[in-house]
Amino acid sequence: MFELAEVGHKLSKEEYDREAPALRTDLLNLQRELKTANFPVILLVGGVDGAGKSETVNELIAWLDARGIDTHAFGEPSDEERDRPEFWRFWRALPPAGSIGIMFGAWYTDPLERRTLNEVSEAELDQSLQRIVDLEQMLVHDGALIIKIWLHLSRDQQRKRLKALRRDPLQSWRVTDEVWEFHKQYDAYRVVAERTIRKTSQGQALWYVVDGGDERYRMIRVATILRDAMVERFAEDVQKEQLPGPTPDSPVPPEHNLINLLDQSLSLSREEYRDEFARLQALLNRYSRRLAEKHRSMILVFEGPDAAGKGGAIRRIVEAMDARSYKVISIAAPTEQEKRYPYLWRFWLHLPRSGRVTLFDRSWYGRVLVERLEGFCRHEDWRRAYLEINHFEEQLHEFGIVLVKFWVAITDDEQMRRFKQREETPHKQYKMTSEDWRNREKWGAYEAAACDAIERTSTDLAPWTLVEGNDKRWARIKILRTICERLQAALDAPEPTEE
């Protein structure tokens, strides 16, 4: 795979001076055009030590308008990053539409190095690479242009390059003892790199292997790859503009389904509720403190029709916890800023640190619910989202986050009763909008979409809990009990005794 990058490509100063000005002008014009485009450019730069990664990026930034570029190098994770799933710090670094993000190594560095040092098996490497493929496919489907550059040197070239840098007083800082030690692993690293590139050079996220031996050739080649990829992408977008836009979907629910078969007659008396509510709140308080002691975190997801009681349930949950340990995120339509990122971006940003709890009043399921039914995304987007959501939740589970998902269901008649009650109660009138009434007209479609979402995303790792919500007391007790049971199972602990 790397043989072509070891033949000794060179470019004379005269050739470089002839090609560089026009190439730089093309890139500046494309960057100006990008500012009004609806996609970001992610330039991922990897390769062997000494191949000129930093020099190439520095020169590229000098050629372009630095105000439209963000550059990220990823070293050892910070404490904040260790408290969250591995990809959290990469999601934070994603560039918004209209800009260029340059990433050194990014999500490839850790799998490559750990396999080279035999810290993980080949099967574990392949598992990491598949997760990378899933991530990149999702970013591409959400509009990102991903360009991956691998700057290569042969073993002898790398040794000569490192020695030359070490002799240079202004460059010797680049060659640390760790770099020299890793050079001894060159052959193993090359094998792992070949496997990595072969397995992750897919679809619209291809790798380009570039000979890093000659700095002029290297710069012209990288800049040409970037220019050609952007030109091709702009041409594709012109074609896409001719396609019809997204359209609403109107599914019809089965006569008997998971939601309408719930027994909505279940209820609790005021006395039963009061005693059980106090017991479960005390239990939740103690379990939430154990969550912090175990350096675990929890995410609670609440979905369901308007007026189902999601907000009321959330208020009863947080009453039992330390206000410093939780955060409630109410999800509405994305802001203009959020629309510039992949749709999961705003949810990744809200993942809790270890010992904390995040409660989502509506969530990432909006793509397969409201966005599907209102025509805010294309059919291929919401159909693909089921798999993307499962991958997302799998990462949460593997990191050790306790994920509990609730669908709070009520009947059509009960929703109408609550709507009227809200209109008649002054301090609840703010909850009612014309959208609430309009959504009632799509009751069946929302129920069908909800059934699809539950069926396709209720996994062993992240199951849904369906809650009979017509009786608020019953619903709140079921939710509290479920959270306590999930925490007890996750923490592998007996029920705490009174303290």
Q: Per-residue DSSP letters for 167-225?
A: HSTTTGGG--HHHHHHHTTHHHHHHHHHHHHHHH-BTTB-EEEEE-SSHHHHHHHHHHH
Domain count, the chain: 2
Residue whose C-alpha is closest to residue 468's, from 407, 405, 403: 407
Are 56 and 188 in the same domain?
yes
Write out residues in the chain with pLDDT < 50, as ranges: 498-499
Please check whether residue 249 lies inside any domain of the structure.
no
Residue-by-residue DSSP string for 317-329: HHTTS-GGGEEEE
Q: Which two tokens stand for residue 434?
A: 């014309």
Are 227 and 369 in the same domain?
no
What's the confidence (pLDDT) of residue 58? Answer: 96
What's the confidence (pLDDT) of residue 499? Answer: 42
Please check whether residue 248 lies inside any domain of the structure.
no
What's the confidence (pLDDT) of residue 493? Answer: 58
**Domain end residue (candidates: 198, 218, 240):** 240
Helix (H) or strand (E) holding 148: strand 145-152
The pTM assigned to this predicted structure is 0.93
Are 279 and 236 in the same domain?
no
Residue 474 CA to chain centroid, in angstroms?
A: 35
In angstroms, the CA 205 to CA 140 distance is 8
Are 281 and 148 in the same domain?
no
What's the confidence (pLDDT) of residue 498? Answer: 46
Are 94 and 235 in the same domain?
yes
What's the confidence (pLDDT) of residue 172? Answer: 85
Structural domain that includes position 138: 3-240
In angstroms, the CA 206 to CA 140 distance is 11
Are 314 and 217 in the same domain?
no
Please check whether residue 262 lies inside any domain of the structure.
no
What's the confidence (pLDDT) of residue 440? Answer: 87
Residues 6+ apart with CB under 8 A from 366: 331
Residue whose C-alpha is closest to residue 113's, from 131, 130, 125: 125
Please check whether residue 134 lies inside any domain of the structure.
yes
Are 308 and 374 in the same domain?
yes
φ/ψ of residue 342, rounded to 5:
-55, 150
Please check whether residue 257 lies inside any domain of the structure.
no
In angstroms, the CA 275 to CA 68 distance is 59
Are 296 and 216 in the same domain?
no
Please check whether residue 227 lies inside any domain of the structure.
yes
**Domain end residue (candidates: 240, 257, 288):** 240
What's the confidence (pLDDT) of residue 179? Answer: 86
Please check whether residue 264 lies inside any domain of the structure.
no
Give the strands of the sheet with 145-152, arranged side by side: 69-73, 100-104, 41-47, 145-152, 207-211
Are 334 and 189 in the same domain?
no
Please check whether residue 259 lies inside any domain of the structure.
no
Are 316 and 219 in the same domain?
no
Tell me what percent of the chain is helix, strand and coil, each rounded to the nearest 5.
Answer: 55, 10, 30
Sign of the torsion angle spanned by Cα atoms 437, 439, 445, 450: negative
Specify the CATH number for the domain of residue 194: 3.40.50.300
Are 285 and 208 in the same domain?
no
φ/ψ of residue 339, rounded to 5:
-65, -15
**Domain end residue (candidates: 221, 240, 259):** 240
Are 288 and 152 in the same domain?
no
